[in-house]
Structure 1
Amino acid sequence: MLDSISSEMAHYSKVATATKQNEHYQPYIISVFKGKELEKLGVSNLREALALVPGVDMATDNFNNQTPVFRGSNPLAYGQSKLFIDDVLVNSVFFDAYFEYLSFPIEMIKRIEVTRGPGSKTDGVNAYAGSIHVVTYAEDFKDFENNDKLVFKYGSYDYMMGGFVKNFKSEDLKVFTDFYYQQDDKKLYAGPDGLSQGALGAVNIPRSQTGDAPVWLKEYSLGLNIQYKDFSIKARLHEHTQGSAYGVNLSLPQHDDRVKLPNYYLELGYNKEIKDYAVDIKAGIKYNAFDSKAKLAPDNTILSGPTLFSQGVYSEHFAGQRELYQSSYLKYKGLSKHLISAGYRFTNDETIDMSSKLSNRTTGDPALFDYTDTLPFFDKNAKRNTIIVSLQDEFQYSNSLSFIYGFNYEENTYKTAGLEPRVSMVYQHNSNNIFKAIYSRSHRDASWQEMYTMNNLARVGNKNLDPEKVDAFELAYIKKLSTDSYLQSNAFYLINKDQIYNTASDPTYRNVVDTDIYGFELEYKGNLSSSDQVYINYSYVSGTSYIKDEDKSSSLPNVANHLAKGYYIYNFTSSLSLSGIAKYVGAKERVDGDTRDKVEAYSTLDSALSYRNKKYDYTLALSLKNIFDATVKFPSPPKTYSEDYEQEGRNFLIALTKKF
């Protein structure tokens, strides 16, 4: 019997969303991964999970700020995708990124929903290339199994992690909390560093170093979700500290040099249905900061003056940002076959604290001198207000055909993005064949790093930046083979305008690149027998990049044309399973003018053994990653680290989970 799409979508938004039944009917290109399945695979954190998504690759920079790249769209920019944790947007203000959450342990995650494409808009939030919804175990339904648990992990690089998940429930009140602490002592081979390419001038080329980049991690996170009738509180205290990696100024740092990236939020919500109306009101405050303490340059560095820094150049840089936001949305279903949504989201972003301390630039004394007022690294008066207005109609034309159409309109203190329409069609030919067609326009506002950075040799801000813009055309076909198996294919064409770039030779951020990107993605999930699970995807991405100020076109730089990923789980019994993850990332062209060879393709293979003791309700998992110790490198910009950013080789992980 053919169920109506409207009832499927309503079901999806409630209990069915917990069991991954109906994402295929949504007007997006979406992939869903269950936390428990990822645990079986030995996946350690959110970053490793996102590496399985079709069309998603990873990139990094000199801070080792790793970011997912969706469909090859501007690998040098953050903020092209948005991360939501339990429906709270957590991208930071400073970078408009979320790399401090990529280490979020998979045991804290119930489900990951990844939407590719700018059509992924959530209550006034513009996602340029995609969005990631992380659902924790705060999502709890009556009669579902209890998910309270303790977690302990140990692995390579002296990695240690401990945490818990706990739910409290009564008739009208639900309280959820999770907590974890993790640390490691990871170091990765790197060099020669950027000084070898003249990053601090030709006179300092002999000071270039090769050695171990400190990419260690110390992190803890405490989450709290409270639901009382129609009211909710969502809060998280997230403290992330990492090594300074490849150096603030591209000089290999000391082991103890670090960057702190705290990210806190508190959101109050009210959600009420009154007859044909549903009201959703939210108000929140977020705080995040960039807090760096590092040796910027080695002993005997000579800088402008010229000044000799016989003991090196040291710094402490701090910028704290506060965001206030409020949104109100009203949905009306009283009109036959229509669900109309309208509302707004307002945000106020402001730098509330900034300090800039450096070794004395005049004398070369390594003792820190306060340059907060005379030589700030960041604009201490940075602030921006943004208003987004949205209108959308979900039109259920028939049981087999539905449309969603609407728009977002945004303007902020500096720029107006204007009207951004979106139209989507979902056609269910029968219960096993689903077709989608989507057009959407969206944008990415310049991040604060791109706008407000000052007095920095590697980054120069520009307040006159226009938003990056994209028009996306997508087609999809889904063949449902059974309740749990499907084949999904989709094709896309993306027209990107005014993308923001900077280079080592010209560190000022500018709107200098237009790109046309096209490709397709294939995705299969199913079974070969009653005892296994199979997941395979393949992505092809290609296109052209046009550099406007040079009137020059080239192929897409830093983008793998071919991505292939998959996993296999074999359940020997209900308690014992063996699994493997295979990934292939194709070669990547360099940016125009970079004479280095292509970034080489690589393949990796991981394996995991998982055992569950039903009597005492604990699970023990052992995983071995990158079994054949393949060389994995992320591309570096020209005139920085000439040998790119090499990632970890073979490593292992042991995880113990005890449920209550």
Structure 2
Amino acid sequence: MFKFRARRHLGASALACLVASASVSANQNDDPFWDISLEELGQIRVVSIASGSATPLDKAAAITSVISAEDIAAMGATNLDQVLETVPGLHVNHSDQLFTPRYVFRGITSNFNPQALLLINGVPVTTMMFGNRGNTWGGMPVKAIQRIEVIRGPGSALYGADAYAGVINITTKSAQDIDGVITGARAGSFDTQGAWVEAATDWNNTDISLVMEQQSTDGWRRSVNRDAQTNFDEDFGTSASLAPGPVNTAVDQFDARLEINGDRWDFRAGLQDRRNLGTGPGLAQALDPEGQYQSQRINMDYSYRWLEIVDGLDIESRISYFNFTQEPENDIVLFPPGAFNGAFPEGFLGSPGYKERQVRVDLNSIYSNVEDHRILSGIGAFWADLYDVSETKNFNTDFSPKGEVVDVSDDPDQVWMPEEDRKNYYAFVQDEWQFAQNWQLVSGLRYDYYADFGETVNPRAALIWATTDNLTTKLLYGRAFRAPSLNEQYAANNPVLVGNDDLDPETIDTLELALAYQATSRLYYGINVFYYEIDDLINAEPIAGPVATQYQNSGKRKGHGGELEMTYQLLDNLNLAANYAYQTAEDQDTNKSVGQAPNHQAYARTEWRVVPTWTLTTQVNYVGEQKRSAADSREPVDDYTTVDFTARTRGLWRGFDIAVAVRNAFNADVREPSPYSDPRPEIPGDFPMPGRFAYIEAQYQF
């Protein structure tokens, strides 16, 4: 018999629209549509991000992946990016802005990567400035992560702006996930050191958990042979460039997560602090070995549940606060001393920064007292304020020298960005209808109004058919949008690029067909194909006048592909997971490849429990060649294969455990595409990624 839903939503699966903390309970109902016990759910993988309530993974109303803390440990991953690279159809490469990671779903990307929405406990961590996680993201360590849920495809019908190409929801650990107190330390390549502590307690019927993690590294510091200044040296006959030289990838990280859970309420707070964050290849793609940024993300959210207000109706409210800062720690050298034929003997210096605060209020409900239906609905409001834009520089807006470094933060004719705000109001409704025993239709609609660019409506529909006891077939449609960033709307005082406050949001329509098959109790595989069309793509386009380019809605794209994934328990002590993804995308005006992402990806991982206390994991990741944009005449970025090994103990000796890992064990030369600029690329040899590196860690559980 086909069963879809849990009697109540699992607290571990936080959602953006249905409360970012422990869940709204759904009414018990004798109809088999709802009737799958928590005990049964504990034996299978469930996902909440797809439709708003805990659902067996194969019955989810989207193409989804779920990664547990146990999976993360088996991978030997120490950073979120290493985990996400194992998801089919998701590739992690890097922007030229401080090597900020870009989460590229199905080939959909741009320099700042606003097309991927990242949630932590259901709350977006998107900055309105660039529409991404912030250019000083600096990575995210993994010890506080309990699970990661990923939608590959649109999610705006539930999650609103920027749930465009994909959605990533990170659920952090609660008291139920931590047994007592755990402490640990790590040391590894690139002069990397780290330590963490996890603790939980129960006080006066209230669960309290705290996870803190610190890590510092000098970074991989691999060299680039030519940079942007090399091109200017050739034009002016100078030798100011610092290339060949290493990229600047050092960073100090400190993360803390506090969670307090009552019977019907939850409070969470988090801190992500980044110090001494290197500028990667340089903010202007000219090497800057000394430039450093600091950044802080502070978040808090509180939610409360009202259960059985009337028969079949549960409601939850949530208020959240997010504050983000990005500030230079020293003078940022855009071009080195002697740049521009000696006009800047101390270097071309420009140090932009900004601060942003956000408040979100959400009210959501689940109503299940209609036969064969479950109705999810919600309303909410969002306010973001860019409240402190700063800049010091030694050049004017026409690039002529000032003669000294000047603070222009309060000069509207000089500062790089005006202080702006954004307001958003939304409402959504979604109906889950089991119209026959083995059929379900999930349909939904979300309306968003933005005070700065207007309104948008995004529908979704998912037809789910339990074809047999072991096979599920899904046909999915969704529309999504990504809001123009404040930078794209209002960037000013730059002779190269200017904002445009008449921008419309980018939109994408996606159609997907998926099959999920549990062949045996040991073998599962799934396959899906997709097609999408993008409209109103935002690009920087040449314009007449004193400014070279302006952001405009000027592009259309279409793409298609497919993903295959499989898990297989070969032996009682040997498991295999593997996936493959293919995608291709082209510009609809030119019919040329979009490039900037791999067409082929493949991943495989084996977990071998050698003896009861030791597990050896081997993983192989293949990334196919990455084509260039139509204007870029360079050869494609070469494909590469990395191999990782991790040995980890569990219950080694009286609460003491160790792990040893080697990543990119065969020292593959990994390169990710650098952007093209007319008439020649600024870093033609692309961005070098880490070679072989290793670490050892130990932890003790009290």
Q: Aligned to 2:274, which of 236, 240, 264?
A: 240
> 2:388 touches 2:419 (CA, 8 Å); kept in 1?
no
**Other-structure match for 1:654:** 696
State the superposition RMSD in angstroms: 2.6
Q: Aligned to 2:192, which of 127, 136, 159?
A: 159
**Other-structure match for 1:486:** 524
**Other-structure match for 1:339:** 374
Q: 1:33 to 1:485 in 2, by over 3 A?
A: farther
What letter is aligned with 2:597? V
**Other-structure match for 2:49:** none
> 2:157 touches 2:458 (CA, 8 Å); kept in 1?
no
> 1:94 touches 1:290 (CA, 8 Å); kept in 2?
no
Residue 656 of structure 1 and its aligned partner are, at CA, apart by 1.7
Residues 486-533 of structure 1: CA distance to partner in whole angstroms, max 9, x if unpaired?
A: 101000001111222338996533322211110000000121111111
Q: 1:425 to 1:102 in 2, by over 3 A?
A: farther
Distance 1:634 1:458 in 2: 25
> 1:195 touches 1:251 (CA, 8 Å); kept in 2?
yes
Q: The residue matched to 1:509 in structure 2 has which SS?
A: strand
Deviation larger for 216-225 or 200-209: 200-209
> 2:515 touches 2:526 (CA, 8 Å); kept in 1?
yes
Q: 1:69 to 1:202 in 2, by over 3 A?
A: same
Q: The residue matched to 1:594 in structure 2 has which SS?
A: coil
Q: Aligned to 2:69, which of 35, 40, 43?
A: 35
**Other-structure match for 2:147:** 111
Q: The residue matched to 2:403 in structure 1 has which SS?
A: coil
Identity of aligned residues (%): 22
Deviation larger for 31-40 or 64-73: 31-40
**Other-structure match for 2:28:** none
Alignment of 1:629-640 (within 5 A): 629-638=667-676, 639-640=681-682
What letter is aligned with 2:382? T
**Other-structure match for 1:522:** 564
**Other-structure match for 2:18:** none
> 2:94 touches 2:100 (CA, 8 Å); kept in 1?
yes
Distance 1:146 1:484 in 2: 30
Residue 390 of structure 1 and its aligned partner are, at CA, apart by 0.5
**Other-structure match for 1:134:** 170
Alignment of 1:607-622 (within 5 A): 607-622=645-660
Matched, 1:605 2:646: no
Deviation larger for 92-101 or 394-403: 92-101
Matched, 1:95 2:130: yes
Residue 614 of structure 1 and its aligned partner are, at CA, apart by 4.0
Distance 1:166 1:297 in 2: 47
**Other-structure match for 1:181:** 214
Distance 1:102 1:570 in 2: 33
Residue 107 of structure 1 and its aligned partner are, at CA, apart by 2.4
Residues 604-654 of structure 1: CA distance to partner in whole angstroms, max 9, x if unpaired?
A: 111111123444123211111111111111111112211111101111111
Matched, 1:436 2:435: no
Q: 1:571 to 1:504 in 2, by over 3 A?
A: farther
> 1:314 touches 1:368 (CA, 8 Å); kept in 2?
no
> 2:160 touches 2:481 (CA, 8 Å); kept in 1?
no
Distance 2:408 2:363 in 1: 44
Distance 1:321 1:32 in 2: 31
Q: The residue matched to 2:369 in structure 1 has which SS?
A: coil
**Other-structure match for 1:5:** 4
Q: Aligned to 2:45, which of 6, 17, 20?
A: 20
Alignment of 1:215-254 (within 5 A): 215-241=249-275, 242-254=277-289
Distance 2:572 2:623 in 1: 31
Deviation larger for 226-235 or 495-504: 495-504
> 2:389 touches 2:419 (CA, 8 Å); kept in 1?
no
Residues 91-142 of structure 1: CA distance to partner in whole angstroms, max 9, x if unpaired?
A: 223222236667322222221111100047545565101111112221727x
* TM-score normalized by the length of structure 2: 0.87
Distance 1:309 1:378 in 2: 20
Distance 1:236 1:510 in 2: 36
Residue 584 of structure 1 and its aligned partner are, at CA, apart by 0.8
Q: The residue matched to 1:464 in structure 2 has which SS?
A: coil
**Other-structure match for 1:386:** 424
Distance 1:390 1:592 in 2: 39
Matched, 1:359 2:394: yes
**Other-structure match for 1:80:** 115
**Other-structure match for 2:586:** 544
Residue 90 of structure 1 and its aligned partner are, at CA, apart by 1.6
Q: Aligned to 1:212, which of 228, 246, 250?
A: 246
Residue 418 of structure 1 and its aligned partner are, at CA, apart by 2.2
* TM-score normalized by the length of structure 1: 0.92
Q: 1:284 to 1:201 in 2, by over 3 A?
A: farther
Q: 1:148 to 1:481 in 2, by over 3 A?
A: farther
Q: 1:123 to 1:465 in 2, by over 3 A?
A: closer
What letter is aligned with 2:5? S
Distance 1:327 1:205 in 2: 58
Distance 1:218 1:224 in 2: 20
**Other-structure match for 2:84:** 50
What letter is aligned with 2:301? E
